[in-house]
Amino acid sequence: MALLKEVKENYGKLKLYIDGEWVESQSTEIYESVNPTTGVPIATFPSATEAEVTRAVESAQAALQTWKDVPVRDKARYLFDLRQKFEEHNDRLCRILVQDHGRTIGEARGTLRRCIENIEVACSALLLLTKGDYINELAKGLDQVMYYEPRGVFLIITPNNIPMHAWSSYVPYALASGCPVIVSPSKEDPVCAQAIFEVTQEVKGFPPGLMNLVYGGRNINEQILSHPHVKGVGFIGSTGVGLKLFSQAGGLGKEASINGNGKNHVVLMPDADMNAAINGLLRGSYGMAGQRCLGSDNILIVGDGYEKFRDAFLEASANMKMGYGLNEETELGPLVSQRGRQNVLDFIEKGIKEGAKLILDGRNPKVEGCGNGFFVGPTIFEDVDPDMHIAREESFGPITNLIKVKDLDEALELINTKDDYGHSACIFTKDGRVARKFTKQADVGNIGINVAVPQPYAFFPLGSKNASAQGCAKSRIDSMRLFLDQKTVTDRWV
Which among 362, 225, 391, 209 is positioned nearest to 298, based on CA atoms? 391
Report the distance separating Cα 142 and Cα 39, nearest Å. Answer: 68
Report the distance separating Cα 401 and Cα 296, nearest Å. Answer: 9
Which among 106, 80, 324 is positioned nearest to 203, based on CA atoms? 80
> Which H or E run includes 487?
strand 484-492
Residue 163 has, within 13 A of its CA and on its CB side, a CA count of 29
> Which H or E run includes 382?
strand 379-382
Residue 487 has, within 13 A of its CA and on its CB side, a CA count of 7
Active-site entry in 115, 293, 370, 426 = 293
**370 carries an active-site annotation:** no
Classify the phi-psi angles of 130: left when phi > 0, otherwise alpha if psi is within -120 to 50, otherwise beta: alpha
List of E strands, 14-141: 16-18, 21-23, 30-35, 40-46, 133-139
Q: Three-state DSSP class for 109?
A: helix
Q: 113 Cβ partners below 8 Å, 6+ apart?
A: none
What is the total residue count of the chain?
494
**Phi and psi at residue 77, to the nearest 5°:** -65, -40
Report the distance separating Cα 249 and Cα 225, nearest Å. Answer: 7
Q: Which positions are catalytic? A: 293
